[in-house]
Amino acid sequence: MALHRALISSMLLMSVFLCSTEARDFLVGGKTNAWKVPTSEAESFNKWAEGSRFQVGDSLVWNHEPGKDSVLQVSKKDYESCSTSSPIAIYKDGSSKVKLDRPGPFYFVSGTEGNCEKGQKLVTVVLSKRHRFFDLSPAPSPVEREGPALAPTSGCKRSSGGLIVVLGVLVGLMFFF
């Protein structure tokens, strides 16, 4: 009996651990080719980012026409002044992916002269990795769909349904043994 419970507990903990370590890719702006001067406050990149929860290990993905614009990762000071003279990193291939490798703010501006001043800039705040015991609600990946960004509600988007089945089976086994 004790062996069965230990085995079940180990399997449950492994499922929760695998679930909580999954990183996500976020399509900046929520749709392809969104990296351009916003036409309204509602299209602001920061407004989009406010509706998302970024975790360490997640990535931001920009899709834009190569050669027409770029993404510059900059310091807070350069973000605030829209300075493009000393970027931390430059992404100009039209399909850029930036891994959010630490908690805290990340600052990005357009590399096209004058676009930052017109609102083509983004600040994201990255939270440390989640350490929840249970969070079984599914969430679609923002990169897998077009449209407005959805705030992630789960660190386990692919296996949450399977986890519920596993939990049901495990609880059932505890009563039989």
Element (H, E) at 5: helix 2-20
Smallest CA-to-CA distance from 84 within 61, 45, 62, 113 is with 113
Give a three-class secondary structure readout of 61-126. EEECCECCECEEEECHHHHHHCCCCCCCEEECCCEEEEECCCCEEEEEEECCCCCCCCCCEEEEEE
State how far the Cα of 152 lies from the Cα of 24, in Å rounded to an integer: 9
The pLDDT score that the predictor gives to residue 131 is 54
State the DSSP string of 147-164: SS------S-TTTHHHHH
Smallest CA-to-CA distance from 49 within 31, 29, 34, 32 is with 29
- Radius of gyration of the chain from its Cα atoms, rounded to whole angstroms: 20
Q: Which CATH architecture has domain 24-134+142-150?
A: Sandwich (2.60)
The pLDDT score that the predictor gives to residue 5 is 53
- Segments making up each domain of the chain, as ranges: 1-22+158-177, 24-134+142-150
**Type of residue numbered 112:** T
Global pTM? 0.64
The pLDDT score that the predictor gives to residue 58 is 96
**Regions in the chain scoring below 50 on pLDDT:** 3, 6-7, 10-19, 132-167, 169-171, 173
Cβ contact 120:109 at 8 Å = yes
Q: How many other β-carbons are positioned within 10 Å of the β-carbon of residue 9?
A: 12
The pLDDT score that the predictor gives to residue 33 is 86
Which of helix, strand or coil describes residue 59?
Answer: strand
State how far the Cα of 17 lies from the Cα of 20, in Å rounded to an integer: 5
The pLDDT score that the predictor gives to residue 50 is 93
Q: Rounded to 5 degrees, what are φ and ψ at 7? A: -65, -45
